[in-house]
Chain A
Amino acid sequence: MRRDYDRFLDLGARIAAVGPEAPSAAAAFARDEQTPYPVFADPDGRAYAAYGLPEGGLNQLLGPTVMLAHLRGLLRGARPNRVTGNVRLLPGSFVIDRGGVVRYAKVGRHAGDIADNAELLAAVAAIPEPLSGRPFVAARWTTAT
């Protein structure tokens, strides 16, 4: 995501990441990783359920394919942190147009099965550009204190 973030922006896409942990864990992740996109928390898993993301079985969570994907992540510099949420939930990616219609959907077949950026970019590019879209105003997605 981070690698192609500017390409998503150039196409008019905005990225939002959701994790099955507490808001404090999302805040720590956003701070530590300096994510250029907003990060949200779904500690009770309701958003995962709404998008049809299931809990994986043992092989989907710890099988050889998953371990290989994990190793690749480590080699790319990923830093494992303490996990506090539901570790059984599988990942997923969706592209949704401004009308709220799903244009791309991928539910991970296993824990390491994440959408390829090229597929996501192609899905965004296939959406007709708005004829007269209102200017985008960057939102911080935090609530006033």
Chain B
Amino acid sequence: MATLARSDGRPAILVGSPAPTPTVRTTDGGAVRVADLWHNAPRALVLVFFRHFG
């Protein structure tokens, strides 16, 4: 995957690169691969990472 090092040394996601597909947990504790989310979207997935739920 194409990455670009940021100022803090961690890789950043580049537009045009393959999206990572980690596993996230459902509200009842199950596991879902992020790829399953974009595969089920008609056109695109908007993936939003919150700082917290509060």
Interfacial residues, chain A to chain B (CB-CB below 8 A):
1, 8, 11-21, 23-30, 38-43, 46-54, 80-85, 87, 89-98, 100-105, 107-108, 111, 115, 120, 123-124, 127, 129-130, 133, 136-137, 139, 141-143, 145
Q: Are A30 and B27 in contact (CB under 8 A)?
A: yes
Known: A104-B15, A142-B28. A20 touches B20 (CB 8 A): no
Chain A positions within 8 Å of B3 at CB level? 52
Contacts between chains A and B (CB distance < 8 A), count: 218
28 contacts across the A-B interface (CB closer than 8 A): A1-B48, A12-B41, A15-B45, A18-B24, A20-B49, A25-B53, A40-B27, A40-B32, A41-B25, A42-B25, A50-B20, A54-B6, A82-B54, A95-B46, A97-B38, A97-B43, A98-B41, A98-B44, A100-B18, A100-B21, A103-B15, A104-B15, A105-B15, A111-B51, A133-B42, A143-B26, A143-B30, A145-B28
Q: Are A124 and B27 in contact (CB under 8 A)?
A: no
Interfacial residues, chain B to chain A (CB-CB below 8 A):
3, 6, 8, 10-32, 34-35, 37-54
Known: A83-B52, A90-B51, A133-B42. A102 touches B27 (CB 8 A): no
Q: Are B27 and A26 in contact (CB under 8 A)?
A: yes
Q: Are B49 and A48 in contact (CB under 8 A)?
A: yes
